Structure 1
């Protein structure tokens, strides 16, 4: 018999049918469970109305079907292709209808019950996540269907189970009415991507329970009450608690915070089950216009986190989730917004255990309706309200027992409407112990927090000062940036400037960087693929690669910068001479867990070291700590004190001596390189020799310094534009990359005006300008020497109407051989004018290859800032003033043309940039451009470099 499925449910706006009411999630109990994860049979159809005889009938035959892994996405397992859009729906907008061309994956799993499975027959089948909807059969009987991809759904199945040969069939459609509610700036990835579990439910077992655990900071006591649908007892041995469910008990406790995540182990015991509890006592409130926990205001130092793995998509295992949490803790991040859906429930267990504040966000975004002025937006259509309330309830009921969750978020970029109000009212009524967040309504009608995205620094400061205007209620609410500092490609810039504002104004309670990880998909030829690499007819390119981690979870320079900017201890020289000011910027923890080693460094070399006696300062306190005397007999040169705050003992999230914060205090200034102009230029056979340098006599071009061959030295103003230079399409007036190309700065021409051989100098006069424009840069190269070294002084004067800043200003040249790079200056990683907080003055080394930052889309990268001197390719280079250093095995033009790292082919020449200045980075790929003080303005400039032969060319790096 062959049947045809009806697909009416796919376009039904209801949340589904047959599923049990939502309830609290817990990882384990003494009741039996059976994981149904693993290999499933799989059949892909192009449309939603494929034959389903193998589902409804007993005589199925799936022997020739493919196999997929559950949890997983079929498009990442060789069946179809992923699609990336930021906010545009990849199907016609005709709610609630979806296309007939609707890829449909039929999944089959045959399983036996364990030999010791209880015989009482009570069981439920649980799906923790299926995109975008699912229809389920067990042993030929339809259980029901559901929508809500990132939410749990359970079905009663005990009466259908057999000892052996159970057939579980699940039909999953890529598109459904639910897809209109899940337009969340991510890859569209259909499949059963979270766990599938069979749970035994013995008589008298718990269906749902709610742990209420508040904390009174005035008395130091916590009040515990556990409400349960089944009567039982709650025991917490450490606290001596043994009470009936529903009865409150107050006892002295240590509170839970993200800095001090104290959990108490307990048990909820009923007649049929024992459920383990992990209880954290804390109270969240809106008080004095601020978000407070346990009576103290919070400062969120957060990130937005999509779930992502470069091979498995959103199908994350526990080890990957733990890796995320550990990386956050080790980089001083204290909060996470689960954009834009509830995460795998085990992730919240980890947040409870290790300590992170959580904004738990509902599985809701209708961003694509902005294209039609929000017409037909589901959140303002009463037909969709039951689905919205179902999503809110499934989030709240699942996650309500997590102390880490302090705020519920209604969703993201879904406009405004009656449905959101209904959600907020339901959540406030169900759980008054937390606050409610939503960014998309400027009137804050339904929220307890005034939230914005990507507000510029000046506006954030006005809000902090209460000068932002708007509805009266909004001015009384605390403010957070639920998204800011768009971490796409090289950047984000301006983090330190935001943090100074957050710390200056109480109302500004921090923000959440967008976002945690690049969503690159591992690709055998491209390295990592992004939008458009799978032949999508509609896509948003590499906008999906906008995280603080690279796809393989290596920290980007942006994450290293963020760690420094938000460090919970600051080290400054604001006090009397010979002292250092230590300030505790934790919200709850004192400094007793930290040690403070110091080192005294001259020219980047450590001369002496020790430990500062820093008191266990309370949150917000500062102390002036006396520094030791400078070491006797220390060599002359530029000197610094470097003070670090490190873990005095290992913790659950980092080992002993892990660096939490650091600061550098300058002691003496650097010695500026000086070259006496004593050598005279010596003309020869087509060349001019000046000290160790050889020049072309006709053009004045440098050919060699000592044994190091040099090619193409000239002024350079172009950089391979970053994602932030190029900006987003809606920022056309601020897209510097576009303006630079319009001016032709990527194709500058160099006119030779004169080569002048003087008594003590070789002078080359040029004009550097783009075709079709009147503007240019009059540039003079003046070379002098003391016979051993050669000094280049570059002078530039702009002429014409320079209405935009320069990308960079410096010189570029090629070296025929270079690998090892050593330098004294900022490091160890890349830095730019507004991303330099994490750059420490020291002596560093790297290979040329390791200087490169592997952004998924190649772009300007790898500059080291404040370089005093560098050695590479047989040259020693000193700067006056200090300079930016970049070295790579391809030209800027090749870097600019590359779409993927696989497009970059190393050449025989190492191209070196010595920059007097670089334009700032900003976060303009979605956020603000660099602040004006980080603009590299076209104005008269003069800078110098001293070159001398180096003893070794350096072919390998040693550490």
Structure 2
């Protein structure tokens, strides 16, 4: 900034805290790794856990244990163990007094009207255990969380097979640490086709395909190969055409790999459309197929793919992308769908890892739950603008205005996403936070995958298991306009 040479750029203030002493997310990750207490599951169906004191010289009399049991993000039970009488380097087993609905019938009863399993226990259960400081100390106040662990409990849950399959009627159970429950081969399953679906009207005039439903209108542009209008009850949900995106603003740790990305045009990749056609149409649905490629100018395509968009009479848009990445390229930063939503879409609700940002290699300090935030709160304002604010492992998300009108995205089975007032290109171009020009619109990226952030600024290259290096992949997503009061 001041012409002094040599200099470390923004690395002169790239520690575990910001200059104003706010902790970086990296510090929260470190805190979790070096926690002086270890929590382990023993037999979750009976509530049995093991606590190990990793301190060398003090017992755990200064710590109390809190636990809560949540179903789909809502607390259904909670409790406390106030005294942890564990001496240094020793362990103790405890039993948490929750009761699980783990005695399920072999064959679930089914509601004859909705065809859904008539079982109040059906769902996702998570147990979160926290170790809390009992009193004030010079380094932290009473109530400070020292560490936590979270476990998904072995309860029958709705599988991705039901949520995301096109026509499947099978029912499966999730994996668990206990014994799986056999629900029977003739159990009726609930699928989207079992509910009433209104008719739609499809018209093509020139290069525009218009899909009108009971309370929605979508317009698909054949030249763009994407939707250019999505509205419900005359409320517009997008400001610009949808598009696929592979670029992220380079992080500090991308300082080396970004040169390979830019050399191949990742930062300027746009979509080229080769063929668009309606491949299936009924009274209640329409399917549009798009053959496309993504690439930068004067470069061979980075990837080629086929996107199949399906719209049904409820207004739900299903997307399936099958893509092949050109051989010999560096791993991709990301692949996903980018939407520009109109001004005032400031509320973000989601079920996944939170409350702060997380990535495939950076999510030890977050826990699964239902979160509500604003778009500004989703943004992590690094001193060198870069990729930030992603939420890894999200099952669903709703981006809406203050009246609850917006878009709901459902993963198949999950996705990473971020919502901000900046595009990846905005973040790439700026070198300081004050150079960012905040947009009124909300920029939403729903990613099939994003590469990890690693530590390659001064450490090893990103580990292969955290790279998005698939040469062929399939991405599925469902989304639709919603009014949250109707959900």
TM range (shorter): 0.7 to 0.9
Q: In the TM superposition, what is the alpha-carbon distance from 1:596 to its structure 2 partner?
A: 0.8
In the alignment, does 2:118 pair up with 1:650? no
- The match for 1:830 among 338, 357, 376 is 357
- The match for 1:784 among 306, 310, 320 is 310
After TM superposition, the score normalised by the length of structure 1 is 0.41
Q: In the TM superposition, what is the alpha-carbon distance from 1:802 to its structure 2 partner?
A: 3.4
Partner in structure 1 of residue 202 of structure 2: 682
Q: In the TM superposition, what is the alpha-carbon distance from 1:796 to its structure 2 partner?
A: 3.2
Q: Is the Cα–Cα contact under 8 Å of residues 387 and 427 in structure 2 kept in the other structure?
A: yes
Matches within 5 A, 1:635-714: 636-667=122-153, 668=155, 669=157, 671-672=159-160, 673-674=163-164, 676=192, 682-685=202-205, 686-689=208-211, 691=213, 692=216, 694-699=218-223, 700-702=225-227, 703-706=229-232, 707-710=235-238, 711-714=240-243
Partner in structure 1 of residue 245 of structure 2: 716
Partner in structure 2 of residue 601 of structure 1: 70
Q: Is the Cα–Cα contact under 8 Å of residues 602 and 636 in structure 1 kept in the other structure?
A: no
Partner in structure 2 of residue 924 of structure 1: 456
Q: 1:932/1:923 Cα in 2 relative to 1: closer, same or farther (>3 Å)?
A: same
Q: 1:655/1:540 Cα in 2 relative to 1: closer, same or farther (>3 Å)?
A: closer
Q: Which runs of 5+ in 1 are unaligned?
A: 1-532, 727-734, 954-959
Q: 1:944/1:550 Cα in 2 relative to 1: closer, same or farther (>3 Å)?
A: same
Q: 1:778/1:567 Cα in 2 relative to 1: closer, same or farther (>3 Å)?
A: same
Partner in structure 2 of residue 220 of structure 1: none
Q: In the TM superposition, what is the alpha-carbon distance from 1:842 to its structure 2 partner?
A: 0.9
Q: 1:693/1:798 Cα in 2 relative to 1: closer, same or farther (>3 Å)?
A: farther
Q: Is the Cα–Cα contact under 8 Å of residues 351 and 368 in structure 2 kept in the other structure?
A: yes
Q: Distance in 2 between matches of 1:882 and 1:580?
A: 29
Q: 1:800/1:652 Cα in 2 relative to 1: closer, same or farther (>3 Å)?
A: closer
Corresponding residue SS for 1:560: helix
After TM superposition, the score normalised by the length of structure 2 is 0.79
Q: Which runs of 5+ in 2 are unaligned?
A: 102-118, 167-191, 401-405
Corresponding residue SS for 2:483: coil
Q: Distance in 1 between matches of 2:366 and 2:158?
A: 17
Q: Distance in 2 between matches of 1:843 and 1:748?
A: 34
Q: Is the Cα–Cα contact under 8 Å of residues 824 and 842 in structure 1 kept in the other structure?
A: yes
Partner in structure 1 of residue 31 of structure 2: 563
Q: In the TM superposition, what is the alpha-carbon distance from 1:829 to its structure 2 partner?
A: 0.4
In the alignment, does 2:421 pair up with 1:889? yes
Q: Distance in 2 between matches of 1:695 and 1:931?
A: 42
Q: Is the Cα–Cα contact under 8 Å of residues 571 and 583 in structure 1 kept in the other structure?
A: yes
Q: Distance in 1 between matches of 2:457 and 2:5?
A: 22
Q: In the TM superposition, what is the alpha-carbon distance from 1:680 to its structure 2 partner?
A: 5.7
- The match for 1:585 among 31, 54, 65 is 54
Partner in structure 2 of residue 856 of structure 1: 383
Partner in structure 2 of residue 904 of structure 1: 436
Q: 1:589/1:705 Cα in 2 relative to 1: closer, same or farther (>3 Å)?
A: farther
Corresponding residue SS for 2:271: strand
Q: Distance in 1 between matches of 2:237 and 2:432?
A: 31
Q: In the TM superposition, what is the alpha-carbon distance from 1:839 to its structure 2 partner?
A: 1.4
Q: Distance in 2 between matches of 1:749 and 1:704?
A: 21
Matches within 5 A, 1:475-490: none
Q: 1:670/1:858 Cα in 2 relative to 1: closer, same or farther (>3 Å)?
A: farther
Q: Is the Cα–Cα contact under 8 Å of residues 570 and 585 in structure 1 kept in the other structure?
A: yes
Corresponding residue SS for 2:237: strand
Partner in structure 2 of residue 554 of structure 1: 22
Q: Is the Cα–Cα contact under 8 Å of residues 607 and 634 in structure 1 kept in the other structure?
A: no
Q: Is the Cα–Cα contact under 8 Å of residues 236 and 342 in structure 2 kept in the other structure?
A: yes
In the alignment, does 2:283 pair up with 1:756? no
Higher relative contact order, chain-length normalized (CA < 8 Å, sep 6+): 2
Q: In the TM superposition, what is the alpha-carbon distance from 1:595 to its structure 2 partner?
A: 0.8
Deviates more, 1:643-652 or 1:657-666: 643-652
Q: In the TM superposition, what is the alpha-carbon distance from 1:670 to its structure 2 partner?
A: 5.5
Corresponding residue SS for 2:140: coil
Corresponding residue SS for 1:950: strand
Q: Is the Cα–Cα contact under 8 Å of residues 67 and 79 in structure 2 kept in the other structure?
A: yes
Q: Is the Cα–Cα contact under 8 Å of residues 681 and 762 in structure 1 kept in the other structure?
A: no
Q: Distance in 1 between matches of 2:339 and 2:58?
A: 51
Q: Is the Cα–Cα contact under 8 Å of residues 324 and 473 in structure 2 kept in the other structure?
A: no
In the alignment, does 2:330 pair up with 1:804? yes
Q: 1:697/1:935 Cα in 2 relative to 1: closer, same or farther (>3 Å)?
A: closer
Partner in structure 2 of residue 815 of structure 1: 341
Q: In the TM superposition, what is the alpha-carbon distance from 1:927 to its structure 2 partner?
A: 1.4
Q: Distance in 1 between matches of 2:398 and 2:3?
A: 45
Q: Distance in 2 between matches of 1:537 and 1:567?
A: 40
Partner in structure 2 of residue 743 of structure 1: 264
Q: Deviations over 1:462-501 (max 9, x none)?
A: xxxxxxxxxxxxxxxxxxxxxxxxxxxxxxxxxxxxxxxx
Q: Distance in 1 between matches of 2:61 and 2:410?
A: 43
- The match for 1:794 among 317, 320, 327 is 320
Q: In the TM superposition, what is the alpha-carbon distance from 1:935 to its structure 2 partner?
A: 1.1
Q: 1:648/1:789 Cα in 2 relative to 1: closer, same or farther (>3 Å)?
A: farther
Q: In the TM superposition, what is the alpha-carbon distance from 1:614 to its structure 2 partner?
A: 6.7
- Larger Cα Rg: Structure 1 or Structure 2? 1
Q: Distance in 2 between matches of 1:756 and 1:662?
A: 51
Partner in structure 2 of residue 625 of structure 1: 94
Partner in structure 1 of residue 478 of structure 2: 946
